[in-house]
Structure 1
Amino acid sequence: MDLTIALILLQDGILNGAIYALLGLALVLVFLVTRVIFIPQGEFVTFGALSLAFLANGKVPGTAYLLVLLGGLVLLVEAFSAWRSGQWRGLGRTALWALVLPLVLLWMSPWVAGPDVPLPVRVLFALALVIPMGPMIYRLVYQPVEQASVLVLLIISVAVHFALTGLGLIFFGAEGWRTPALLEGSIQIGPVQWTAQTFAVLALCAALIAALWLFFGRTLYGRALRATAVNRRGARLVGISTRMAGSLTFTLAAAIGALSGMLIAAITTIYYDTGFLIGLKGFVAAIFGGLVSYPIAAAGALFVGVLEAFSSFWASPFKEAIVFTLIIPVLLWRSFGSVQLDEED
């Protein structure tokens, strides 16, 4: 290995590490607020990437139909809950975002998939198709069992992962897809050409992390999520709705996952089940931070990305095993400094 090859591998590692950092941050956020180890985070990556790929190739993405299906189920669940409690207030608002919005997006899909539509419009439309799935999944699956133990929530997450993977196969098929690059061209830095796509991904990741920092530090809803993450019982006592916090958290997780998929799909082929491995690598990064620290999770993600890149050069058949084996010493290291606490402490 010479310096040129090392720099090329470093470029790939930093690029992948930035994506894993976003997914690791999403996993930490979901766990802190809802105590859910959100294994299906990778499915949002897949849905975002494949939705954009379908639109770019003149096809209506399956997520347009899946969103209508999930929205209809959410409306039925809310209507049944309102009938049991006799509280019909708020059902109209639920109908607007859970059914009317998906139907409008489905109606617009053929136009967005048509020719001469700018790529940024397609990106925003694909995000609009995927992001509402986050709060819908939370309402259908996790909200009814929000007081369950972490183990039960983990088992449910595994079931949701398999369900979404199966739906991905139905709506997108087994064929792999790629999305157009956000930026074309390359920049020569030393002996290596860095693609403009790499800088676009790094810039967007940095901007998103900065936006999340501002959201949690400067906005009312961000502070409510932080309070819920610190102490769920205390947050309820001061009037913060943990259900609202959970729904907002899943919305952010869906947005981060969908955007991550669109960023990475320009440099690698995405299949209906690709998101699982990408999400697991984000989970390894989150484990570096003990599922509680954002900065350590981000640093761990960059380390995972660089390790994966160099492993693909030295031992390509075993690169996945090397990355996932890394979780064992990390867990041992985390266990030495851990303190057993109750969930509400």
Structure 2
Amino acid sequence: MDFSIASILALDGVTNGAVYALLALATVLLFTITRVIFIPQGEFVAFGALTLAMLQAGQVPGTVWFLLILAVLSAGSEFIAVLRHGRGMARALSAAAGILAYPVAISAVVWWAAPQQFPLMVQALLTLALVTPFGGLIYRLCYESLADASVLVLLIVSVGVHFALTGLGLYFFGAEGFRNPSFWDERFALGPVTLSGQMVIVFLVSNALIVMLWLFFERSLWGKALRATAVNRLGARLMGISSTTAGRLSFTLAAFIGALSGLLIGPTTTIFYDSGFLIGLKGFVGAVFAGLHSYPLALVGATLVGLLESFGSFWASAFKEVIVFSSILPVLLWRSLRDPHQEEH
């Protein structure tokens, strides 16, 4: 391996690592705030890429129907919950209508816009607007009533949600894979390395989102509320911060990050209905490097995952996934020796 090949592999690894870093941040965000190890994070990636592909083809994406189904189920659940608390029919109808309003509105807009063949950037914005609400709705249906359950129970629920979303992805999108057009077709020569416009987009968007997340957590009231919930759930409740609202918001952010990652990675690889699992799992490996609690270490870990994947595919392409996923073993061993678990009596 000479310098030019190493440079190309390093660039490819850092590019993939930037996407994995976003997914690692989402994983850390969800675990610190809700204690959920959200295995289906990659499904948001696939839904984002495939929704854009359907819009490119001038078809109404299956995510429209899926969003409406989730909204109706969530509205029905909220309607029954309000009635059980004795708040009256009018209050129950208002709560259900509040849940249905945005999903119905954005579904109608996408239904109208799909055959119009709008520019790629407009379709990307519609995709984000359509996929982002999935996070909050999934939290309402699957996790909200189990907010105080053990981490193991929440993990089992995540496995079930993953299989459900994968099956629904096959139903709504089919088994065919799609590859989206690049957002920028320019190419730049940097010595032995050729930098594509899409790579530049990935770097710029990833770093911009990381900075925006930092500003959100440091400067906004909602971000500080999420940080407080992550540090001490009970203390946050005593200070008037709703852990339920924090959970919904964190899942909504995770869905947005996943959908955006799907838009970024869609032009670089063919995405199938089940492609999100491996992509999300690599983001999870990056989060494991950070102990599922440190955002800076998650960025470093995800970048390392991207580099391992890139150089592993060069040295032993048949075993690149094995190399990536085996890399967490020494990390887990080191953490177990550093912080040994003591059985509670």
User: TM > 0.5 between the two?
Assistant: yes
Matches within 5 A, 1:1-345: 1-88=1-88, 91=92, 94-338=95-339, 340=341
Identity %: 57
Describe the SS at the equivalent of 1:245: helix
Compute the displacement of 1:327 (Å).
1.1
Contact (CA 8 Å) 2:30, 2:250: kept in 1 or not?
Answer: yes
Unaligned runs of 5+ in 2: none
Structural RMSD (CA): 1.7
Q: Deviations over 1:94-146 (max 9, x none)?
A: 44453232222232224322244111111111111111010000000000111
With 146-155 and 5-14 compared, the bigger mean Cα shift is at 5-14
Q: How far apart, in 1, do the equivalents of 2:205 and 2:123 lie? A: 17
Describe the SS at the equivalent of 1:113: helix
Q: How far apart, in 1, do the equivalents of 2:307 and 2:175 lie? A: 29
With 89-98 and 319-328 compared, the bigger mean Cα shift is at 89-98
Q: TM-score, normalised by structure 2?
A: 0.96
Describe the SS at the equivalent of 1:194: strand
Q: Deviations over 1:39-87 (max 9, x none)?
A: 0101111111111111011111100010000000000000110111012
Q: How far apart, in 1, do the equivalents of 2:330 and 2:87 lie? A: 52
Contact (CA 8 Å) 2:46, 2:273: kept in 1 or not?
Answer: yes
Contact (CA 8 Å) 2:79, 2:93: kept in 1 or not?
Answer: no
Contact (CA 8 Å) 2:83, 2:92: kept in 1 or not?
Answer: no
Contact (CA 8 Å) 2:58, 2:117: kept in 1 or not?
Answer: no
Compute the displacement of 1:7 (Å).
1.4
| Cα distance change, pair 15–93 in 1 and its aligned pair in 2 (3 A) | farther
With 121-130 and 27-36 compared, the bigger mean Cα shift is at 121-130
Contact (CA 8 Å) 2:48, 2:259: kept in 1 or not?
Answer: yes
Compute the displacement of 1:30 (Å).
0.2
Q: How far apart, in 2, do the equivalents of 1:102 and 1:91 lie? A: 18
Describe the SS at the equivalent of 1:193: strand
Letter in 1 for 2:23: L
Describe the SS at the equivalent of 1:38: coil
Q: How far apart, in 2, do the equivalents of 1:94 and 1:306 lie? A: 48
Q: Deviations over 1:269-292 (max 9, x none)?
A: 000000000010000000011000
Q: TM-score, normalised by structure 1?
A: 0.96
| Cα distance change, pair 92–218 in 1 and its aligned pair in 2 (3 A) | farther
Q: Deviations over 1:295-345 (max 9, x none)?
A: 0110010010011001111100100011001111110112222265999xx
With 235-244 and 92-101 compared, the bigger mean Cα shift is at 92-101
Letter in 2 for 1:38: F
Q: How far apart, in 1, do the equivalents of 2:147 and 2:47 lie? A: 25
| Cα distance change, pair 148–202 in 1 and its aligned pair in 2 (3 A) | same
Aligned length: 343
Q: Deviations over 1:184-241 (max 9, x none)?
A: 1100101111001101100000000000000000010000000000011111111110
With 164-173 and 325-334 compared, the bigger mean Cα shift is at 325-334
